[in-house]
Structure 1
Amino acid sequence: MSEMSYIQIIEHYHQHTASINELMGSILSGINDETLFQDEARQQKAIDCLMESYPFVDLPYTLDPSGQQLSHNVAPGNTLADQQGGVGKDRSHRPYFLQAKDSRATIVTAPYLSVASRSLCISAAVEVRSATDVLLGYIVLDIDLSRTIEFLMGDSQRLKFSVLFKSIYAAIALGLFSVVGLLFYFSLEGQPPYTPASPPIA
């Protein structure tokens, strides 16, 4: 897909808002684990899996209950050893934190223009609680909106082709069953299927 303009991205966003929100909820529920706040190796594994499976994820990180960033900014292709700062940064004023602290469900922000990349982004966040229902903090994903839309539209295209191929295979199978049915019918009749008579030999 060719590069989309901001207007095209926003138009596609409005068409796919429900799918985007469901996708963000699914991703965050899959990594919503209190061990992310306790085990750095577990955190790195979750980040690696995210980057491999979802190329539109720009930056995953964790916050404490007051909105202070706990984890390093780990961009795609980097490891925790290549940390780019971020720990201790106050995120309590950001829209996603203000929404997340008042909700137990996954929240997804409206699109905004990233100062760093100059691309349209969204952020998704969800709170993480312990087994005893103590609030441990929040998981946040910064998402490139254009690549997210391309990801979803690619799935739609694959689904259309899948339906088409299934229809073709069904038609072929139906044709084969028809031929088998005709042969079976003629065998019950005790005579072979009609074939044109050979012309008389002069």
Structure 2
Amino acid sequence: MNVHNHLRLIEHYHQYEKAIKSLMESMMTSIADFKLMHNRDDQVDAIQRLCKHYPFVELIYSLDCNGVQLMDTVCSPDVSYRKRREPGKGQDRNHRPYMVAARQSENKVSVTDPYLSSATFQLAISSVQVITDDKGGEQGYLVLNYNLQRLISYLKGDQARARIHPIFQAVYGVIGGLLIVVSMLLLYAGAESFIQVFDFKKDITTGAFSIVILVTLGLADF
């Protein structure tokens, strides 16, 4: 994704910022459970349920009170750049944007502004839920990570277009390549006709006319 696309996504984020934060908070509240902190199977179940309705959800993991990841990251079935993702267990995420946002917020749920993912170099946002025990003591954090491009597509209702856009790009690339080949062949035919014009056995007017047609078509295709 180039800089222009990043800027466009950030512009869309600010356009939908209020709706995004409200949605993220409701999603976090719906899955907030102390059991998710230490049970990876529960995390797998939670992210699979979320992905059925929210295809932009990518990762879920839990951190202790110091920001250290407790278990390996759980990825959604359709996570982007899966091979670049690290297991994560034991990593200190204390200085990541979502942890900074969580510590600066007075709410139990905090949502980051868009940031560049260190794993994929794509724009992402995260929501963090402070997990407490029955007595209200802080036990750690539950983190959900979202693909910003998919999220914006979801809010705009153009998920299908975003899914098939790479196919259209590939088709246009093939068509463009074929047109270049055709134009080169036409220019070659024009050059060959130009040489044959000097053969006095042939009509010069007809030859010149064919050269003009071939060169014009070749340049038009190119």
Using structure 1 for the length normalisation, give the TM-score. Answer: 0.67
Q: Which residue of 2 aligns with 1:133?
A: 136
Question: Gapped runs of 5+ residues in structure 2?
Answer: 79-84, 159-222
Q: Which residue of 1 aligns with 2:188?
A: none
- Alpha carbons 2:44, 2:74 under 8 Å: kept: no
Measured after TM superposition, the shift of residue 84 of structure 1 is: 4.7
Q: Which residue of 2 aligns with 1:172?
A: none
| Matched ranges for 1:1-202 at <5 A | 5-77=5-77, 84-102=86-104, 103-154=106-157
Give the stretch that moved more between structures: 111-120 or 17-26: 111-120
Q: Percent identity?
A: 39
1 CA distance for matches of 2:122 and 2:86? 20
Measured after TM superposition, the shift of residue 34 of structure 1 is: 0.8
1:96-147 per-residue CA deviation (whole Å, 9 max, x = no partner) reads: 1122134333111111122322221111111011111111111111111111
Measured after TM superposition, the shift of residue 25 of structure 1 is: 0.2
1:20-44 per-residue CA deviation (whole Å, 9 max, x = no partner) reads: 0001101100000111124333222
The CA RMSD measured in Å over matched residues stands at 2.1
- Alpha carbons 1:65, 1:138 under 8 Å: kept: yes
Q: Which has the higher helix share?
A: 2
Distance 1:123 1:153, change over 3 A: same
Question: Gapped runs of 5+ residues in structure 1?
Answer: 156-202
Instruction: Look up the equivalent residue of 1:45 and give its one-letter code.
Output: D
SS of 1:117's equivalent in the other structure is coil
SS of 1:101's equivalent in the other structure is helix
SS of 1:115's equivalent in the other structure is coil
- Alpha carbons 1:122, 1:145 under 8 Å: kept: yes
Q: Which residue of 2 aligns with 1:184?
A: none
- Alpha carbons 1:74, 1:84 under 8 Å: kept: no
2 CA distance for matches of 1:138 and 1:122? 16
1 CA distance for matches of 2:148 and 2:87? 24
Work out which structure has the larger RCO, using CA pairs closer than 8 Å and 6 or more positions apart in sequence.
Answer: 1
2 CA distance for matches of 1:108 and 1:8? 20
Instruction: Look up the equivalent residue of 1:131 and give its one-letter code.
Output: D
Give the stretch that moved more between structures: 39-48 or 54-63: 39-48
